[in-house]
Amino acid sequence: MIELMVVVLIIGVLAGFAAPAMNQLIRSQKVRGAAYDLFADLTYARGEAIARGHNVLVFASGGGNSWVGGWAIRDTTSGETLRTQNALSTGLLVNGDAASLTFDRNGRTAALLRYDIAPTDSGVPDTQKRCIRISPSGRPNTLEGPCP
């Protein structure tokens, strides 16, 4: 019985040390997943604009410049919705420079755009944040940390 109590005590101590690290891992994975989803959809929208020869609109469906409520991709010529993304998991902030962006038929955008993706928790390190930048040429890229 004493041996069992010692084993349970050791497991409890190890779990106490592992819990904070697990929370950081979960936060980091949420941010990475959201950044990947947005990056993949921006790349898809650019490719569709080039392939179709039409303007393709990507817009936040959550209202305002917050993209945490999801987004949609629409061909502006035909009005066809090409893809939608549901609301992201709780605990994330996704803010962009604009509530929408348009890729022209050449895959370009009007200006440099940035999207910050971060946990809602205050005081998280910059390594748990992501930045997606879209150059006027239309190519998105992902950076670790907040947008400069």
What's the pLDDT tens digit per position in 18-62? 777 788 888 889 999 999 999 999 999 999 999 999 999 999 987
Residue for token pair 């670790």:
144
Predicted confidence (pLDDT) at residue 3 exceeds the cutoff of 80: yes
Could you tell me the CA-to-CA distances from 26 to 2, 61, 140 in Å, in that order? 35, 25, 25
Q: What was the pLDDT predicted at 142?
A: 93
The Cα–Cα gap between 15 and 77 comes to 56
Q: Which residue has the higher pLDDT, 132 or 123?
A: 132
pLDDT number for residue 52: 95
Task: Please classify residue 73 by burial: count the beta carbons closer than 10 Å to its beta carbon, then call 0-12 exposed, 13-18 middle and 19+ buried.
Answer: buried
Mean pLDDT of 127-133: 92
125 pLDDT above the threshold of 90 = no
Residue 13's pLDDT band, with cuts at 50, 70 and 90, is confident
What CATH number has the domain bearing residue 68?
A: 3.55.40.10
pLDDT digits (tens, 9 = 90+) for 64-116: 677 888 999 999 999 999 999 998 888 898 888 888 999 999 999 988 899 99
Query: Which domain does 91 fall in, by range?
Result: 2-144
Task: Supply the pLDDT for residue 79.
Answer: 94
How many domains is the chain built from?
A: 1
User: What is the reported pLDDT for 122?
Assistant: 81
Q: Please state the pTM of the whole predicted model.
A: 0.84
- Tokens 């891992």 locate to 25
Cα dihedral sign for 136, 99, 36, 93?
positive
pLDDT of the residue at 106: 95
Decide: 37 and 85 in contact? Cβ < 8 Å: yes
